[in-house]
Structures are given as C-alpha cells and as structure tokens.
C-alpha cells in the first residue's frame, strides 16, 4: 500500500510516544516491501524540528536527538516537491482553516490517490470527513 507519511508518524520511530509501536510496525512493513512511503521535500526538516523541540522539552538530550536524527535520515520515504502542490494546498488551507504545511500533505495524497497517515488527531478530526483518505495512526492495527 502507498502512504503519504506525516512527520508526526516518523518521529515516533525514534522517540517513544503513544502509538510508537504502530508507527514502528508500519515502518517495518515498509522495509519488507509491503508499503511505499511518500512525503514532501520538507519532511526531514519537519522531523528535525520535532527532534529539537523534544530536546527543548527535556524529552531527549542533544546526544539522543542527534542519534535519532541520524537513524531517521537512513530510512527516508520518496520525496515530492512541495512547490507544485502549493496552489491546491492553499485552496484546502483557506477553505478549512488548517495550516498550509498539513494541507501540503493532504494535497500530495489527493494527487497521488493514496492514504495520508498522520498521528495528528486534531487534523483527522478537522479534515477526515472532507478527505476520507486521511488515516489516523492510532486506528491502524
């Protein structure tokens, strides 16, 4: 199965949080060839931002953060440029009043005809009715 992968899911690969087990299972299945992950070109930047935020919150030491980022960078999805998706993401963002970064991922999944998996329950609650291809990580087996 093809999934557009939200950075909130990849972050859980290296930082223990709720549903990390599901994120790791999904990643392991992709490594076995069961899934293909797609993401935006800004994806590694978003993950790095989440890692440094976890450091500031005291959830990771800088050394742990550096290791987590290095491991993450060794297991990247297929990237798609965000610029071409910006017009559609803008329309989505303006109509549903959700941040443009999230809407870029929605636009990618819409264009590629695949599911968008995210750990962001608020995003799912706000968009899943209109975009039923959005899947909340917690609902996966």
* Amino acid 17: pLDDT: 94
CATH number at residue 69: 3.40.50.1010
pLDDT at 48 over 90: yes
* Amino acid 36: pLDDT: 97
Residue 83 belongs to domain spanning: 2-139
Contact between residue 98 and residue 92 where contact means Cβ atoms under 8 Å apart: yes
pLDDT at 22 over 90: yes
**Structurally, how many domains does the chain consist of?**
1
* Amino acid 75: pLDDT: 85
* Long-range contacts of 26-34, Cβ-Cβ distance < 8 Å, separation of 24 or more: 26/117, 26/137, 26/140, 27/75, 31/75, 34/1
pLDDT digits (tens, 9 = 90+) for 73-128: 888 999 999 999 999 999 999 999 999 999 999 999 999 999 999 999 999 999 98
Q: What is the mean pLDDT of residues 30-49?
A: 96
């Amino acid at each position: 199965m093809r999934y557009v992968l939200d950075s909130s899911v990849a972050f859980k690969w290296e930082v223990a949080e709720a549903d990390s087990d599901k994120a790791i299972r999904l990643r392991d299945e992709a490594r076995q060839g069961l899934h293909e992950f797609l993401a935006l070109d800004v994806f590694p930047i978003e993950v790095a931002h989440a890692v440094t935020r976890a450091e500031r919150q005291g959830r990771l030491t800088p050394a742990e953060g550096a290791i987590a980022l290095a491991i993450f960078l060794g297991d990247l999805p297929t990237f798609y440029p965000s610029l071409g998706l910006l017009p559609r993401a803008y329309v989505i963002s303006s109509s549903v009043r959700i941040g443009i970064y999230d809407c870029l991922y929605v636009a990618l999944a819409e264009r590629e005809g695949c599911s968008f998996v995210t750990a962001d329950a608020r995003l799912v609650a706000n968009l899943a009715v209109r975009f039923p291809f959005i899947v909340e990580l917690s609902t996966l087996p």
